[in-house]
Structure formats: structure tokens, C-alpha cells
């Protein structure tokens, strides 16, 4: 009897392991919905993200067992996030327009590229970074691949509905009709980072075309921005979100004066602090994703196997943060 109970507990633990990645996003979702200033806009965003991910991501993944459809759903979810934010935000219209346009542009840049890749047939096979996920699942003892695929896809949708929406909603809620210095700093960082990310992508594309023309295969791209970091596109994407977070700080400071309808003053203060922590966690979440989950580490796992000179490139070039060449 005792052994049977132990077996049931162990089985339950194994099942819960699949759902563990969803926990931070669900906490973030609860945090946003609990803030009266964001409740309606957050619920609307949850609805549109759910519809998008069910039909564009979850169902195609269930039918094909390929995670690559996330690359369509996630950026177009950002576009919908920006639209919802602008239409339903209660803050100054110009600030709302600016921040909504910023996140829409981020989504469109990647979303249009993903659609182009889909039409060219690249989604007919699994991307290497998602192949790497299966390696991690195997190491974690996750044998139900179909469930793991769906949980991973849902976590991407929850990211759009929780932490990635937080700096957008906070900024768009401010009624102040003047932009503060920190907001301008955030916009500047966002713009420069978006340019960096785009330039890096164009440099990589140009390099690949040149190598193809010259008949060279599996070469290491170490030109332009790629001389200073092995992943300038991922670093640029991370800094794009840091720019949005910095832009949200003045609006977050103003939220302290708001009273939450169903909370007393002390509870409102705690919620305000938690929202600030949520802003910081957004940066950490994107860093972890772009370096360890679907970014640098997964791509390098296969680059080492495919490109003979990649290990040498690793020795001389920073992985994520740009910097001068390292001595061997």
C-alpha cells in the first residue's frame, strides 16, 4: 500500500514537471490582472493571444510535431499586443501610440520574416533550436514529446500575455502629457538596438549568399557586428526589450499614487513593488530565453557539429555581450 502511494506521488511529480515552465508566466498574468488599471486590457490581450496561438501555433504543432510555428505566432502576438494596448489604454494618446508602435514594429520585423520563411517551405522541418529542446527534454526525463511541445508553445503565448505586455501596459497607462528624459533614453536604446539587430541579420544574410556563390559551405560568419559577439541579433533583441522597460520606469513610478479598488493602501504598495519586480524579471526572462532556451546555446550546439572553425570562433569572440576580440 505504501509503495503504491509512493508510486502515485512520483507519477504526479513527473507530470507536474511538464507544467513547471508555465508557473512564472501564470504568476505574471495574475499580477497584471490583479492591477485594476490593467485588468480589462489584460483580459482582452489574453483572449486574442489565446485565439492566435490555438490556431496558428498549437494546432499546427499537434498535427506536425514541429515547434517552428512558434516563430509565426510569437511575433504576430506582439503585433496584436500593440494594437490592443493602443485601442484600450487609458493614458496619454501620444505616449500610447509611441509604445504601441514600438512593440508592433518589433513584431512585424520578425513576423513578416517568419511568414516569408513559411511560404518558402522552411517550416516543413524543425529548426535546430527546437531540435535542441528535445535533447533537453530527454535529459529531464520528459518522454511525452507531444505534451512538452504544447507546454512550450503555451509558454510563448503566456509570455506575450504576461511579462512582455507589462512594460507596454505600464507606459500606455500614464496620463502625463510630457515625455521625461528616461522615456527618451528608453526610446533611443530601443531604436539603436532594433537597428543593430536588423543590421546583424542583413550582414548574416549577405555572408551566406556570398558563401553560396563561392561554393563554400559551413563557414563561420565573423564579419561586421559578428566580429564582436557571436550573437549580435540576440543581443540586439534583448536590448530592444530593455529599452521598452527603461521607457516604462517613469510611468511605473506614477502608478504608486494609484489606489487599487479592492486593496488597502499597504496592499496596493506591495502590488506596486511586485509590478516593478515584474519589469526587471522581463529583462531576465528575455536574457534566459535568448541565451539558453531558444537562442545562443541551442544554435551553438549544432554550429560546433556543422562548422569546423566554430570552436576557434568561440575562443576569440564573446558569446552574447559585444566586446573586442579575445586572445587565444
The tens digit of pLDDT for each residue in 186-227 reads 999 999 999 999 999 999 999 999 999 999 899 999 999 999
pLDDT at 309 over 50: yes
- What sign for the dihedral angle of Cα 173, 174, 180, 181? negative
- pLDDT of 67 over the 70 cut: yes
| pLDDT tens digits along 257-293 | 654 545 566 777 888 899 999 999 999 999 999 999 9
Coil vs helix vs strand at 18: helix
- Grid cell for residue 302: 549544432
Q: Which residues, other chains included, contact 19 with Cβ-Cβ below 8 Å and sequence gap of 6+? A: 151
Q: How many CB atoms lie within 10 A of CB 295?
A: 23
pLDDT exceeds 90 at position 248? yes
Number of H helices, E strands in the chain: 14, 0
**Distance in angstroms (rounded) separating the CA atoms of residues 207 and 211:** 6
State pLDDT tens for residues 99-111: 999 999 999 999 9
Q: Measure the CA angle with vertex 202, ends 196 and 206; round to 5°.
A: 145
The rounded distance, in Å, linking the Cα atoms of 184 and 180 is 7
**Predicted local distance difference test score (pLDDT) of residue 129:** 87
pTM (2 d.p.): 0.92
Task: Give which of 315, 324, 322, 309 is closest to 220, Cα–Cα.
Answer: 309
Angle, alpha carbons 225-229-231 (nearest 5°) = 90
Higher per-residue confidence, 127 vs 87: 87
How far is the C-alpha of 141 from the C-alpha of 17, rounded, in Å?
9
Gap between the Cα atoms of 328 and 315, Å rounded: 6
Tell me how many degrees the CA angle 272-172-23 measures, rounded to the nearest 5: 50
6 — pLDDT class (breaks 50, 70, 90):
low
Amino acid at each position: 500500500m505504501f509503495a503504491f502511494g509512493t508510486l502515485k506521488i512520483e507519477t504526479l511529480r513527473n507530470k507536474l514537471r511538464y507544467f513547471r515552465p508555465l508557473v512564472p508566466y501564470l504568476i505574471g498574468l495574475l499580477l497584471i490582472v490583479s492591477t485594476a488599471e490593467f485588468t480589462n486590457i489584460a483580459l482582452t490581450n489574453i483572449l486574442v493571444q489565446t485565439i492566435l496561438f490555438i490556431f496558428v501555433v498549437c494546432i499546427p504543432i499537434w498535427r506536425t510535431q514541429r515547434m517552428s510555428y512558434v516563430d509565426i505566432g510569437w511575433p504576430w502576438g506582439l503585433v496584436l499586443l500593440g494594437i490592443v494596448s493602443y485601442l484600450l489604454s487609458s493614458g496619454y494618446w501620444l505616449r500610447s501610440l509611441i509604445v504601441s508602435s514600438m512593440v508592433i514594429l518589433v513584431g512585424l520585423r520578425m513576423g513578416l520574416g517568419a511568414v516569408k520563411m513559411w511560404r518558402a517551405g522552411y517550416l516543413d522541418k524543425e529548426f535546430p533550436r527546437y531540435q535542441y529542446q528535445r535533447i533537453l527534454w530527454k535529459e529531464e526525463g520528459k518522454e511525452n514529446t507531444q505534451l512538452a511541445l504544447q507546454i512550450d508553445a503555451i509558454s510563448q503565448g503566456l509570455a506575450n500575455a504576461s511579462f512582455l505586455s507589462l512594460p507596454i501596459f505600464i507606459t500606455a497607462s500614464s496620463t502625463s502629457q510630457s515625455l521625461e528624459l528616461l522615456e527618451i533614453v528608453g526610446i533611443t536604446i530601443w531604436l539603436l538596438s532594433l537597428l543593430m539587430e536588423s543590421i546583424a541579420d542583413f550582414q548574416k544574410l549577405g555572408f551566406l549568399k556570398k558563401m553560396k556563390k563561392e561554393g563554400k559551405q559551413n563557414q563561420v560568419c565573423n564579419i561586421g557586428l559578428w566580429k564582436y559577439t557571436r550573437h549580435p541579433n540576440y543581443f540586439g533583441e534583448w536590448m530592444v526589450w530593455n529599452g521598452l522597460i527603461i521607457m516604462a520606469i517613469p510611468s511605473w513610478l506614477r502608478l504608486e499614487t494609484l489606489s487599487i479598488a479592492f486593496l488597502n493602501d499597504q496592499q496596493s504598495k506591495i502590488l506596486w513593488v511586485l509590478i516593478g519586480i515584474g519589469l526587471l524579471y522581463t529583462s531576465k526572462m528575455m536574457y534566459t530565453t535568448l541565451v539558453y532556451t531558444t537562442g545562443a546555446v541551442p544554435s551553438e550546439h549544432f554550429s560546433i557539429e556543422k562548422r569546423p572553425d566554430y570552436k576557434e570562433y568561440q575562443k576569440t569572440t564573446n558569446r552574447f555581450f559585444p566586446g573586442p576580440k579575445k586572445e587565444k
